[in-house]
Structure 1
Amino acid sequence: MKNNPADFWNERFGREEFIYGTEPNIFFKEQLDKLETGTLLLPAEGEGRNAVYAASQGWEVSAFDISEQGREKAMLLAKQHKVNISYEIASVLDYTSHKQFDVIAFCYTHFPIDTRKTAHKQMLQLLKKGGTIIFEAFAKAQLNNDSGGPKNEAMLF
């Protein structure tokens, strides 16, 4: 299927190099470092750089993504850093958990418009009362830049 997001991300993450590097997202790191450690959920975690950083700081990390290649690289990175992360293969609409989390971090998790509201609502059900959301995404103004992000305005904020 040509427009299958899992195929897109598996191809992208199937390369030897880490597409977004192995260091955590700067904004994510800055925000996470302000918080007391606890449980963290990372939707659409990709190659695991944020999950591995959080685990190295004492967080209990759960992550998921639709990409099997992303998971493989995340688990390799976790092994290299000698940390444990829980990482499942799931779409944002299919992910379920029996636990609630202290923090949910959305780092450039752009979903199609018809998925976004449902996805965010489902993810918020997994946040503990008084929990924290870390959120970083591209705005519609990003379309004028060539520095990355979705080229579909409906997927931007």
Structure 2
Amino acid sequence: MNEFWDQRYSEPGFAYGMEPNTFFVEVLDSLTPGRLLLPGEGEGRNAIYAAGKCWEVSAFDQSIVARDKAREWAESMDLQFDYRLASMEEFFCPDPIFDLIAIIYIHLLPETRLQVHRQLSACLKPGGKIILECFHKNQLRYGSGGPPIKELLYQEDDIRSDFTALDIDLCEEHILDIFQGKFHSSKSSVVRLIANKPF
């Protein structure tokens, strides 16, 4: 799997564009800057935006090509963030230190998804927030991005059951026009989550 992502991110330009995810921006801009975790961050579009807004950003991804590309971009912008090399299964957070965790287009098989989502929940401070935007199972109707495998796509019940330890403010399907690089384009079905860790 590392080879797949290294190859994708080795292509000229940015696979998913340079603009941050719209939902991520909406939520981030409504919050006081703090500590942010970005799993599977890819080439750094969300990390760059958040670092420029004075967030203390930690990110990880399994692709060394993506990590190096993000670091080079950050250096060119005179921005800094911590970017580590790790898969979703390998990442471990020993203490609840993050104010915000953003899960943006990370698609996992059901057994791995549950494990990862619960581990990420444990990384939140009390009062911290998790947001998620991923392709919905209905995305197969559109074919405009994401994995073409139903088991790797999500629906509301999946996400609610993964985050039972959190208070869920929003968990619903949205139909959006997405234009994020050449791999996410046109009308799409996504599921969005906003959830808070109780004090």
Q: TM-score of the superposition, structure 1-length normalised?
A: 0.94
- 2:112 partner SS: helix
1:154 to 144, 151, 156: 151
Q: Do residues 45 (structure 1) and 41 (structure 2) align? A: yes
Who is 1:69 aligned against?
Answer: 65
Who is 2:103 aligned against?
Answer: 106
Identity of paired residues, percent? Answer: 46
Unaligned runs of at least 5 residues, structure 2:
155-199
Query: Whole-Å Cα distance in 1 between the matches of residues 109 and 40 of structure 2?
Result: 13
Who is 1:35 aligned against?
Answer: 31
- 2:135 partner SS: coil
* CA-to-aligned-CA distance 1:41-92 (integer Å, 9 cap, x gap): 0000000000010000000000000000110111011112111010001011
Q: Is the 8 A contact 1:62 1:85 kept in 2?
A: yes
1:7 to 3, 7, 21: 3
Who is 1:117 aligned against?
Answer: 114
Q: Is the 8 A contact 1:49 1:77 kept in 2?
A: no
Who is 1:26 aligned against?
Answer: 22
Deviation of 1:98 (Å): 4.4
Q: Do residues 95 (structure 1) and 107 (structure 2) align? A: no
Q: TM-score of the superposition, structure 2-length normalised?
A: 0.75
Give the aligned CA root-mean-square deviation in angstroms. Answer: 1.0
Answer 1 or 2: which has greater strand percent.
Answer: 2
Who is 2:74 aligned against?
Answer: 78
Unaligned runs of at least 5 residues, structure 1:
none
Deviation of 1:16 (Å): 2.1
Who is 1:136 aligned against?
Answer: 133
